[in-house]
Structure 1
Amino acid sequence: MTPHSLRSTRFALTTIGAAFVLMIGLLASPAAAQRASDTTLARVLVLGTGGTIAGQASARAGNAYDSGKVNSADLVAAIPGIDKLARISAEQIASIGSQDMNDKVWFDLVKRIRAAVDSKEVDGVVITHGTDTMEETAFFLQNVLDTDVPVVLVGSMRPSTAIGADGPANLYEAMRVASAPESRGRGVLVVLNDTIHGARWVQKTNTTSVQTFVSPDAGPVGYVDTGSLRYLHPAVPAERAKLKLPEAPPLPRVDIIYSHANMDAAPIEDAVKRGAKGIVLAGVGDGNSSKAAIDALAAAAKQGVLVVRSSRVGSGFVNRNVEVEDDKLGFAVALDLNPQKARVLLQLLIAGGITEPKAVQQAYAAKP
């Protein structure tokens, strides 16, 4: 269980949400609130992309809200004591709900993070982000960023104007993680609800719960505990080189095809006609599908479309050559990657010219 003192701290921070907009209006100089006089503190760059954490109540009925209405500087300025954790600067990359996350924003994030790291202007990066596609952005960044500098994604399940908003506490804890020396070399992390997750394993699993993020196949990598960060394992070096991005977006088209009872070949044939360079099957069970669908995927593979089998079930590994003859059909399997992450990796592989099925399979097996 989380210690009582940590719960008390989180409760105090969540009460900020109810008066968040009023506080922002009273802040005469958000930039001044971000500056810390102690030059020994770590330098952390906050990059805002929008999401529920930056949401405000809407005029629509009920609990409706609009994402991405509060900028990242104001999010930081409204949290008491956060300036004692780090010397913070804040910039806005986008102001969208993460359901609208896209290649351009991903490329813009990479460009800014690389510039900040190469110029040695930061010791850590925090990205405020909507939760819907946070795991995809985290996994994308994990595969392309080659740095020991901590990169931490954070969001919330409740908007800033909600009673019991979880954003302020989550952002405070993300700042702790990003500014900590022990976070270096751990890749891209996701921090919500006192818990630290690795980009490869984290998944959103509930529509509304503040405990929505879990890592079902590996567990969390650590916790934000009272007075300290508690990592459960030492940092592990990557098993392969980072993947290269093309000069500009978009990434190659890869479609996810969702398997279901009584499935025919039409969705797969349509994806090929629309120019998909790759197809990820969100298969039943161990990444399987109907005979009609498997036959259509085999035909697509013969045409040069890369096919990767994943699973719709939410946890577990997809194994090669168990129910499906992957070697014969030219398929790869996603192993522990869910369909949305399998899609991101396949896009990056195709963009980098890695299109031979055996090489694709090796990439899915290696930890970035």
Structure 2
Amino acid sequence: MQSRSQSSTVVLGTGGTIAGTAATRGDHIGYQAAQLGVGALLGGVPGLSEVALESEQVAQVDSKDMEPAVWQALARRVAHHLGRPEVSGVVITHGTDTLEETAYLLQRVLAPAKPVVLTAAMRPATALHPDGPQNLLDAVHLAREPGVQGVVAVLAGQVYSGLEVRKQHTYRLDAFGAGDAGPLALLEAGRLHTLRPWPAGVPLGLDVIDVDPALWPRVELVSSHSGADGSLVAALQQMGVAGVVVVGTGNGTVHQRLEAALLAAQAAGMKVWRSTRCAEGRVLGKPDDVLPAAGTLTPYQARVELLLQLLAERKGLRPG
């Protein structure tokens, strides 16, 4: 059996700011994402020159434009490479905007025993001091570290579970966190300091998402706020939307007019979950709740989870 140090690591590119370029080196917001291929990104990190790497461009998108078809293709390629005994782990270069959604989906679908490490950048590759090269170097090292497993994300020296990571700042280099859970591990001077167990679980399996993405059930977000009513929910019902995650106030509370519309939609067959717009904390459910609580999931994670559950139900599977 090969050791991780003798094995190959596969780097899959999907675009994002880490592959972005700007006309001037000082421009950190007026750049075009997804301009450089994954091979060029790896070539810009001298510390990787002696590491056994393979690379593949799965997609080239600004992650704000992430689509189910890209998720499907990415999950298939990750599963393919993880199934190769000579591969120690997989690294995915991704945009920051929807990284948390991709990470959550991959962990729930694959729950891999090998590491799958997502990384990204807050500054384009052309910045005076880009953060992408260090993040990519950290990701490759983490994917080759013995004992690491599951889908994780590494950014600014902190490692987060794919089930917990979320973007929580618009601009800072340390833009990511994991709410109350905090990081799984830290990378300090090239050394891994593990704080909590690595992600595990029973995979839903690729079969859950192995259907034409155009046929995936539609799950939308609806926000509760002052003056909210149920007109949007009624419109979503007419559009055939299968599920709604309501972004509630506080502990998942919902405006009474919006709640009435959601209850009617739920009675008619629509799946409805409650989350919160608060950046920290969880929705604490009660035995008499009429709308299920999403617990620790952010609205965006809850949307992915509800989507996966609906897909699993269509296939007659039991989502674990």
Deviations 1:129-163 (A, max 9, x none): 00000000000001001421100000000000011
Unaligned runs of 5+ in 2: none
Identical columns (%): 35
State the distance in 1 between where 2:4 and 2:308 align. Answer: 39
* Alignment pair present for 1:242 and 2:207: no
Aligned equivalent of 1:336: 296
Per-residue CA deviations over 1:232-274 (Å, capped at 9, x if unaligned) read 1234642x44253233324310010011111111111111111
Counterpart code for 1:199: G
Q: Is the 8 A contact 1:58 1:66 kept in 2?
A: no
Q: Distance in 1 between matches of 2:263 and 2:197?
A: 42
**SS class of match (1:217):** helix
Give the counterpart letter for 1:81 in structure 2.
G
Question: CA offsets, 1:50-69, max 9 Å, x none?
Answer: 0000000148x954100000
Q: Give yes or no for the alignment of 1:91 onto 2:51.
A: no
Q: Are 1:107 and 1:248, in contact at CA under 8 Å, matched by a contact in 2?
A: no
Give the counterpart of 2:19 among 54, 59, 62.
Answer: 54
| Residue matched to 1:233 | 196
Paired position in structure 1 for 2:231: 266
Q: How is 1:1-368 mapped onto 2 (pairs within 5 angstroms)? A: 40-58=5-23, 63=28, 64-84=30-50, 86-184=51-149, 187-235=150-198, 237-238=200-201, 240-242=202-204, 244-250=208-214, 251-321=216-286, 325-326=288-289, 329=290, 331-353=291-313
Q: Which stretches in structure 1 are left out of the alignment for 5+ residues?
A: 1-37
Structure 1 position 289, deviation (Å): 1.4
TM-score (norm 1): 0.80
Total equivalences in the alignment: 313
**Residues 241, 134 of structure 1: alpha-carbon distance in 2 compared, 3 angstrom cutoff:** closer
TM-score, normalised relative to structure 2: 0.92
Q: Sort the Cα spacing of 1:207 and 1:45 in 2 relative to 1 into closer, same or farther, 3 A.
A: same
Deviates more, 1:132-141 or 1:241-250: 241-250
3-state SS of the aligned residue for 2:121?
coil
Larger Rg: 1
CA contact (8 A) 1:349 1:355 kept: no
Assess if the C-alpha contact under 8 Å between 2:110 and 2:203 holds in 1.
no
Instruction: Report the aligned-residue RMSD.
Output: 2.3
- SS at 2:58's partner residue? strand
Q: Match of 1:208, SS?
A: coil
Q: Evaluate the alpha carbon distance shift between residue 338 and residue 146 of structure 1 in structure 2; reply closer, same or farther with a 3 A threshold.
A: closer
How far apart are the structure 1 equivalents of 2:90 and 2:315? Answer: 32
